Structure 1
């Protein structure tokens, strides 16, 4: 299949959040400050300059303060510019005024695109720089005056950012513009910092008061604050008004400044009149140090502020709140008298239905509603309302209905593919994810949110018209509820000191969830009455850097008891058991192996509707499976990048348990090497389902399988769910036929899906693996279920997680390898890199192997692993058959905690015990994330071998009935070629 162009098919539905991310593309992150040592000292004083600048940013809750690099000469400046990406150059001019000018000119000739600002030491020097304004303008964009406050640096950075981003941001986000016309360096150096601080503060205050704003939303919504554009002449002011008339939020103007190249005492007043000719609803503010100008301001319907007023900050705050949409929305009657107010968007929507027609008409004519919404970061809503004017409607009632329809459509559109706060009426849909508690969603939760968003932004109907793609109905409890649970039940001491999992588990079960969460869960269950899967989602789980896969618990519950309180109790118990699963022996072993502190882990919980439907009292999907985009066991012409999938009938617990599933390559689904005998032997014989008639299960006692029952495959056939999944072995003719009327054993090989394309599952998986691996920038694993209800097949995506793969490949064929020192060579497996710190080998003695005693062998391996864990020593593990299988006849049934210190694992075939190479079953992710090598040595393979003679000669550390622990005197050299799936292990020359 040709590689899919992700950018072509991923048509993101732009939400406000998307627009926020595109805004402020240019950020001043690196500032080069050029000042001689004396001037630098003037700024830095006691060395606290950087801290103070960061303090100014933090005071207004801006999270990305620029970094300053200070130099004292042109030579140093050029050196920095050659090595770093500088966004702004600030040149300090103090006692020496000539040198800064020369430096500025020289730098401009070499770095034309970097803006330069000059910072003058005090007001007394301004007259000199006014006199050389034309000369300075060749390289200096604007001059500011330093009056001892580091706020000036915030203003300089924001001034440049707003100027650069103005055109793009007004186009993308309809961002509003505050025009400041001032030519006095002294005054705009004082005025601009004050204006920026107030605007940012007011923007944050109103955004925080809106519901559904997390910290990230707050940070991004700050980007919709109005741009402050500073100009100094009448002509520049007119140009901004003409170009950004529809975005102009207000005009703040001095009275006297240049018009036609000369000082004009009427320029400010005339500019306000020009503004009102363009739009008489634009608020204007005339500011002057001469209070006599207050009369002139009133004459042109403008506010007035005395620039020298001691209450300047208070007056600016009042103007911003009352005139620019930052305060409450004040509903007024036809004469402009206030009659009501709304403090939030929800309150506005409610009062919109009750305010008199005259009030709605008053505000519609003035178009102030969209301004108020824009100030609150509701870009899409504001833009939609802004397109229409009062004249576009026949009646006021029509306007009212239109605004309410815009609200409703906007709400539905914006939640698709999103995470929404819990509302009972929105539970029963899979178009979004419902949040039942605050805090991070953990690794799996992030994966589900990503899937939900992706499905809404890709037209899968065009790519795969025969199969619907969806996620199950999903709700997530954030990690804050886990913290609440630990705190209100006084479990801190327990989780820090108690190592016995059973004691921890009992303490968790006795605990109580918060009252608020219990109320939400009760309301949730009043709507949701189908079986539920309660899944773990730890902070570290399935992350790109360290996926804790298969370590924590998942519980399935029928959720069908007639008593709501009984169902609530079952759900609460499952949640608490998921919380407790952080502290299982397996989990502790994993944390120790990767050197993480277990107390740093926190748990979110995913509650998903179980995919499937009822069949004669059983609940299960037609097919469950796992697909990966990178295949470490390719054969024939299959490439590792073609991926693979394993599928089975029934619930997915069968698949992740490492049992007999059907494996295929989605790109070449018909390509199989298995003989009829192999297919008969390895075919699925039973399946898992939820028994809807059972009520005697005990989650705490029986574990994750408590509510799950295994059924003979005959029951699936009786349910009619084998239609696409099984064939019949025609023993008379030694063939496999796709005909259930034939007599013979059923073989689960999914012919309807893989051979006859009745449902395009392989094609779909191939497409999904391709686009998701592109989207995540990593090989991926997808867990899925296929359900066919009312003849409509739907593929549900249950989880997605990254597969960690090393970036550095070892090419064994290109290395000078001494074949006389080979302990092992494998031509099939996984792993990559070079390991040189292992001296220990634990292996099952092939001479003592007994296929009926593999469970005893597993106990011996567990015992040796515990001792290696105590010593903190990694080792090479070798044994017959599959490691980690649940079928003791096919290998050694260990869990991950039983072999957690194994750095390289080898599966070996024996003469009468052929090897069916596995992928480490359910601990495959642990193997890959911890960079464990995993290799297969088939019996009597010419290219692959293990030199047991060398192993027998080594020092015996401990020998048990079946297992042997030996130690080499020098570390082994382990080379793993990830591209060719080969490995070589070398021992020292004197062994």
Structure 2
């Protein structure tokens, strides 16, 4: 019998905990287990304690934090930092420790401390990535363990005032609604290996696929984004294995060995048990060959020999053949007692039936005595982009085309675009690494100034990347007012369609169109001449420090530079063609 969910307090348990409870109740119901008897031995829900919102209210009250919390509604990072510092210095009432002791004593393993706010995980507004999840080692004396846990809870509490959350609430009309924070404390899935703790695999699954890259890939089969290590890597803008459970061997990047390796996961997230902190590292720290590796990980790798990529037949790997994280060994055939793609499809379709809507679920997988166990960590309604019949692509004179793309193009259209904000690829990558963070902050200032205007953000590589080497590291609050995002391939810094990440989910929920442009590819157009015309940056941006970046960031007022015309975007995902032009 799997552990029940325990609740501390008498308030609300929040959206994430409610979704977890509903998913657990349905998957483990007699009705479902009769239809899918294998679920009973394969699907698990980690032991979970939920701290209800009345304890959040009590914490805010006894530490006199109400006014500093309300100040966060400004969206100012400075107001948020003051609130966060005050929260971290705050004291929990003795009653909370007393309520915890009888339940918490037995949880002597690493924990995931997750947000579960009142407004979180609603249909159309998932708040994905807006609030914090903290992993803790949960080791040492009782006092040390309580310090780790109480600090993690405070960090989750403080995230309620983060500018990303505030701007998200403002944009979706929730800023005036009362928001409170409940907290989920879950057993972290995985095992210790060489001082690190992490699961064999983790990721996100969607019961409906909004990114069908090939005619054989159908929406109803769903979509899975899976990584080696902690699932934090799956929801960020790094590389992961993307597959359709109905056609798991089909790849959006194609089947050539160089492309497979280029778009494969190279960095993983783990919990460093000694330092009690998350660590990003290359997988070669825990995988040396088919024998010397994290238990079961050898099945996740293929070996590359020149232009050939193959799944090794045994644990004996050829030394000079390069290991690449493809997951082919568990996608192409039954493994560890399951057919992984079929299991994922069955679980996602079952959750969709039970919750009455398409679902987005997070999961982590582990091996127990050689058998696979799928742990469902959360489940929530999946927000999908509204489907429309694509507009007919217009005939446009070449000199009036600003951008043209024929790869990874969605369906959508935007007309009468007044501004284009352009981050120069050459100047951005010429900036020192710390200056690139400043570029993102300046873009955030432009985002505020252009609130209420229709504008496109154009930048090199990946918007929202955590690595400044790959693109502009702008946060949600710094790009949320844009109508469209364009990612430019710049040398080896290529865009990536990060379907399934928190970043991509934000674009869908906010109705922001996204299109990558690969200027070197045949048929693509990137009209740089437009961005050499009058730059309105200094006219719109008052901050003298920000004006130092007026050559890196151009703000083009389209009617001014084009004789009163506006920009228009027409994207046809069926034909995989998109055009942005002047009219």
Displacement after TM superposition at 1:851 (Å): 7.6
SS in 2 for 1:964: strand
Correspondence for 2:4: 432
Match of 2:21 among 449, 455, 476: 449
Displacement after TM superposition at 1:862 (Å): 2.7
d(CA) in 2 for partners of 1:505 and 1:768? 38
Correspondence for 2:113: 534
Correspondence for 1:767: 346
SS in 2 for 1:727: strand
CA contact (8 A) 1:803 1:925 kept: no
For structure 1, which runs of at least 5 residues remain unmatched after alignment? Answer: 1-428, 698-705
Correspondence for 2:294: 719
CA contact (8 A) 1:532 1:610 kept: yes
Compared CA separation, residues 769 and 938, structure 1 to 2 (3 A): farther
SS in 1 for 2:364: strand
Correspondence for 2:238: 659
Per-residue deviation, residues 554-612 of structure 1 (Å, max 9, x unmatched) = 10111122x21221222111111101101123223323433431672211111111011
> Equivalent residues in 2 for 1:790-869 (5 A)?
790-807=369-386, 809-813=388-392, 817-820=394-397, 822-829=401-408, 834-836=413-415, 838-846=417-425, 848=427, 850=429, 856-869=435-448
CA contact (8 A) 2:136 2:148 kept: yes
Correspondence for 2:544: none
Displacement after TM superposition at 1:944 (Å): 4.8
Match of 1:781 among 344, 360, 381: 360
CA contact (8 A) 1:631 1:640 kept: yes
Match of 1:747 among 324, 329, 343: 324
Normalised by the length of structure 2, the TM-score is 0.84
Please say if 1:930 is aligned against 2:503.
Answer: no
Count of aligned positions: 546
Compared CA separation, residues 982 and 772, structure 1 to 2 (3 A): farther
Correspondence for 2:58: 484
Please say if 1:880 is aligned against 2:457.
Answer: no
> Equivalent residues in 2 for 1:694-733 (5 A)?
694=274, 696-697=275-276, 706-708=277-279, 710=281, 712-716=283-287, 717-730=292-305
SS in 1 for 2:298: coil
Per-residue deviation, residues 499-545 of structure 1 (Å, max 9, x unmatched) = 52222112112223343332122222212111110001122222103
CA contact (8 A) 1:778 1:804 kept: no
d(CA) in 1 for partners of 2:434 and 2:551? 12
SS in 2 for 1:886: coil
Per-residue deviation, residues 180-234 of structure 1 (Å, max 9, x unmatched) = xxxxxxxxxxxxxxxxxxxxxxxxxxxxxxxxxxxxxxxxxxxxxxxxxxxxxxx
Compared CA separation, residues 881 and 637, structure 1 to 2 (3 A): farther
Higher helix fraction (1 or 2) = 1
SS in 1 for 2:60: helix
SS in 1 for 2:378: strand
> Equivalent residues in 2 for 1:258-337 (5 A)?
none
CA contact (8 A) 1:626 1:655 kept: yes
Match of 1:505 among 69, 81, 84: 84
CA contact (8 A) 2:210 2:384 kept: no
CA contact (8 A) 1:533 1:607 kept: yes
CA contact (8 A) 2:436 2:468 kept: no
Compared CA separation, residues 829 and 517, structure 1 to 2 (3 A): farther
Match of 1:896 among 472, 476, 482: 476
Please say if 1:689 is aligned against 2:270.
Answer: yes
Displacement after TM superposition at 1:932 (Å): 1.0
Compared CA separation, residues 752 and 465, structure 1 to 2 (3 A): farther
d(CA) in 1 for partners of 2:278 and 2:444? 32
Compared CA separation, residues 526 and 735, structure 1 to 2 (3 A): closer
Per-residue deviation, residues 326-367 of structure 1 (Å, max 9, x unmatched) = xxxxxxxxxxxxxxxxxxxxxxxxxxxxxxxxxxxxxxxxxx
> Equivalent residues in 2 for 1:547-558 (5 A)?
547-558=126-137
Displacement after TM superposition at 1:914 (Å): 4.7
Compared CA separation, residues 983 and 767, structure 1 to 2 (3 A): farther
SS in 1 for 2:216: coil
d(CA) in 2 for partners of 1:604 and 1:555? 14
Displacement after TM superposition at 1:785 (Å): 0.6
Compared CA separation, residues 868 and 689, structure 1 to 2 (3 A): closer
CA contact (8 A) 2:26 2:32 kept: no
CA contact (8 A) 2:13 2:51 kept: yes
Per-residue deviation, residues 68-93 of structure 1 (Å, max 9, x unmatched) = xxxxxxxxxxxxxxxxxxxxxxxxxx
Compared CA separation, residues 982 and 576, structure 1 to 2 (3 A): farther
Correspondence for 1:475: 49
Match of 1:965 among 536, 550, 555: 555
Per-residue deviation, residues 463-506 of structure 1 (Å, max 9, x unmatched) = 47386012111121222222222222221111123652222112
CA contact (8 A) 1:548 1:925 kept: no
RMSD of aligned alpha carbons: 3.0
Correspondence for 2:546: none
Correspondence for 2:100: 521
CA contact (8 A) 1:726 1:746 kept: yes
CA contact (8 A) 1:619 1:691 kept: yes
Match of 1:600 among 175, 178, 198: 178
For structure 2, which runs of at least 5 residues remain unmatched after alignment? Answer: 539-548, 560-564
Match of 1:583 among 161, 179, 199: 161
Per-residue deviation, residues 423-443 of structure 1 (Å, max 9, x unmatched) = xxxxxx744321112222222
Compared CA separation, residues 784 and 641, structure 1 to 2 (3 A): same
CA contact (8 A) 2:194 2:286 kept: no
Per-residue deviation, residues 58-117 of structure 1 (Å, max 9, x unmatched) = xxxxxxxxxxxxxxxxxxxxxxxxxxxxxxxxxxxxxxxxxxxxxxxxxxxxxxxxxxxx
Normalised by the length of structure 1, the TM-score is 0.51
d(CA) in 2 for partners of 1:838 and 1:485? 47
Compared CA separation, residues 480 and 883, structure 1 to 2 (3 A): same
d(CA) in 1 for partners of 2:375 and 2:21? 14
d(CA) in 2 for partners of 1:478 and 1:978? 44
For the pair shown, the structure with the greater C-alpha radius of gyration is 1
d(CA) in 1 for partners of 2:354 and 2:148? 37
Per-residue deviation, residues 299-337 of structure 1 (Å, max 9, x unmatched) = xxxxxxxxxxxxxxxxxxxxxxxxxxxxxxxxxxxxxxx
Compared CA separation, residues 691 and 464, structure 1 to 2 (3 A): farther
